[in-house]
């Protein structure tokens, strides 16, 4: 095999091992060309190094490695994010979380302005920025998309993985988003009670049951388990976040979390038990409830006072 092998022949050789669309994506990636370019240039000869690299990628894909990790990127909300095995691959259902968060941001912003009697009309421009926290940011796709959509907001994003934070920081730099990243296991590194407060807290935490068969299938086999699985019923992280969130929310702040397809009822119970009000749930494009949340209520302030006085 020499430089005589053309694109068409290389793609033909991968047939049976890969769908044609994936083969074009991988070869296009190596050639730094969009996949569609290959269709109109399939007589272009490939050099030996490219052929070898394509053969390696084909074998890895055939063994199940996620295409996003092989390409090193995935699109989310119309933008390209770098991804690595240190982070979850951004998913379409998480775009729902962003949509819900954007609507919530508008609402919290309006409520806040209305309830701040001392902020006179002409001073509204000087109102403190909306503060948003993204828990377990991974590639940073949620925090960065929110920061780009709400340029006046202060967005903080935390993750327990330093590798994920490095990647998220790079994504923010490439996309020109202003996000403050912090190394933190959920709220651990944020000053509680009278410290950091947020108008909006969002997150796509791990929520798959530790024994779930899906963890041993498809892309999930290659993704970080810490970003996917969370205790026997998958609710450990969601429980911890819902319980701790009120102490980090402003009085009318909102919490919105992505969760599993079968956790809608459990989420209502959790949010109610923790004193959240105006609980709402949102369905993804498949009609499944995947995002739940609510508003911090006075019950939280009372509970916190009791805790403090004990
Ligand atoms: N939505 C992913 C899946 O079900 C899981 C993501 C997560 O655990 N946060 O494959």
Mean pLDDT of 196-204: 96
The reported pLDDT for the residue numbered 277 is: 96
Residue 300 pLDDT level (bands cut at 50, 70, 90): low
Q: Which residue CA neighbors atom 6 of ligand 1 most closely?
A: 228
Residue 4 pLDDT level (bands cut at 50, 70, 90): confident
Would you say 7 and 33 are in contact if contact means Cβ atoms under 8 Å apart? no
Distance 139 CA to ligand 1 centre (A): 14
Angle at 271 between CA 265 and CA 273, to 5 degrees: 100
The reported pLDDT for the residue numbered 127 is: 76
Mean residue pLDDT of the chain comes to: 91
Question: Which among 200, 218, 180 has a CA at the least distance from the CA of 293?
Answer: 200
pLDDT in tens, 36-92: 999 999 999 999 999 999 999 999 999 999 999 999 999 999 999 999 999 999 999
Distance 207 CA to ligand 1 centre (A): 7
The three-class DSSP label of residue 197 is coil
Question: Which among 49, 66, 34, 47 has a CA at the least distance from the CA of 24?
Answer: 34
Residue 104 pLDDT level (bands cut at 50, 70, 90): very high
Percent of the chain at pLDDT exceeding 90: 83
Q: In angstroms, rounded to a whole number, what is the distance separating the alpha carbons of residues 111 and 107?
A: 6
* Cβ–ligand 1 contact at 290 (below 6 Å): no
Neighbour-count burial of 148, counting CB atoms closer than 10 A to its CB (0-12 exposed, 13-18 middle, 19+ buried): middle
Percent of the chain at pLDDT exceeding 70: 89
pLDDT in tens, 259-271: 999 999 999 999 9
The reported pLDDT for the residue numbered 195 is: 66
Mean pLDDT of 189-205: 85
More confident: 308 or 161: 161
More confident: 251 or 119: 251
The reported pLDDT for the residue numbered 1 is: 44
Distance 32 CA to ligand 1 centre (A): 30
The reported pLDDT for the residue numbered 108 is: 84
The reported pLDDT for the residue numbered 114 is: 67
Start-end of H helices in 140-297? 141-149, 162-175, 236-244, 264-273
* Cβ–ligand 1 contact at 235 (below 6 Å): no
The reported pLDDT for the residue numbered 304 is: 60
Distance 198 CA to ligand 1 centre (A): 25
């Amino acid at each position: 095999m020499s430089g005589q092998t053309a694109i068409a022949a290389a793609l033909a050789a991968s047939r049976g091992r890969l769908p044609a669309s994936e083969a074009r994506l991988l070869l296009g990636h190596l050639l730094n060309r969009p996949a569609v370019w290959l269709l109109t240039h399939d007589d272009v000869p490939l050099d030996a190094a490219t052929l070898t690299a394509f053969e390696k990628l084909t074998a890895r894909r055939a063994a199940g490695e996620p295409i996003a990790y092989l390409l090193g990127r995935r699109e989310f909300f119309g933008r390209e994010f770098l991804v690595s095995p240190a982070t979850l691959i951004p998913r379409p259902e998480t775009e729902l979380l962003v949509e819900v968060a954007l609507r919530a941001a508008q609402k919290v912003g309006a409520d806040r302005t209305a309830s701040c009697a001392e902020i006179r009309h002409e001073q509204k421009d000087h109102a403190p920025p909306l503060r948003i926290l993204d828990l377990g940011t991974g590639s940073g796709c949620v925090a960065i998309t929110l920061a780009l959509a709400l340029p006046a907001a202060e967005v903080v994003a935390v993750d327990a993985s330093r590798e994920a934070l490095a990647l998220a920081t790079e994504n923010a730099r490439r996309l020109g988003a202003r996000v403050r990243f912090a190394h933190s296991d959920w709220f651990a590194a944020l000053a509680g009670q009278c410290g950091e407060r947020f108008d909006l807290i969002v997150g796509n935490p791990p929520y798959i049951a530790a024994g779930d068969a899906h963890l041993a299938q498809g892309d999930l086999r290659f993704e970080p388990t810490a970003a996917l699985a969370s205790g026997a019923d998958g609710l450990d992280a969601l429980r911890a976040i819902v319980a701790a969130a009120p102490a980090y929310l402003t009085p009318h702040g909102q919490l919105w979390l992505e969760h599993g397809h079968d956790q809608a009822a459990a989420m209502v119970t959790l949010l109610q038990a923790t004193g959240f009000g105006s609980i709402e749930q949102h369905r993804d494009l498949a009609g499944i409830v995947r995002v739940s949340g609510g508003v911090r209520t006075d019950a939280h302030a009372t509970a916190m006072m009791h805790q403090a006085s004990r």
